[in-house]
Amino acid sequence: MKNSTKFTKAILINAGNFQVSIGTFSSSEIAIISKSSGNFVNLEQIKTSKRLRKVKRLLKSNINSDSTFTFSFMQDDQIDKLIQILKGN
């Protein structure tokens, strides 16, 4: 059995050109933040990013917004997978 990383609330994790924000009130609430603008990453950016396309394809059941990459009910292994995809690993 693989040990997964335990993510804590209210942290930013560096993930390549993005940051993954772990929720302030719940560690299962996740958002992808643009490093350059500091804003939530829009879903329409999948047109220009292979990594974001892969995130949407693999984790679409957890996306809780029609316009941004914000997620609900994420488990530690899913968060780790998200970070690895964004880093390009």
Q: Which residues touch 10 (CB under 8 Å, ≥6 apart)?
A: 22, 23, 24
Q: Is the pLDDT of residue 2 over 80?
A: no
The three-class DSSP label of residue 39 is coil
Q: Would you give the DSSP letter of residue 25?
A: S
CA angle 2, 26, 19 (to 5 degrees): 75
Cβ-defined contacts of 58-61 (< 8 Å, 24+): 58/85
Instruction: State if pTM tops 0.85.
Output: yes
pLDDT tens per residue across span 45-54 = 999 999 999 9
What value does the mean pLDDT take over residues 66-82?
94
Taking only Cα atoms into account, the Rg of the chain, rounded to an integer number of angstroms, comes to: 12
Give the separation between CA 44 and CA 67, rounded to whole angstroms.
7
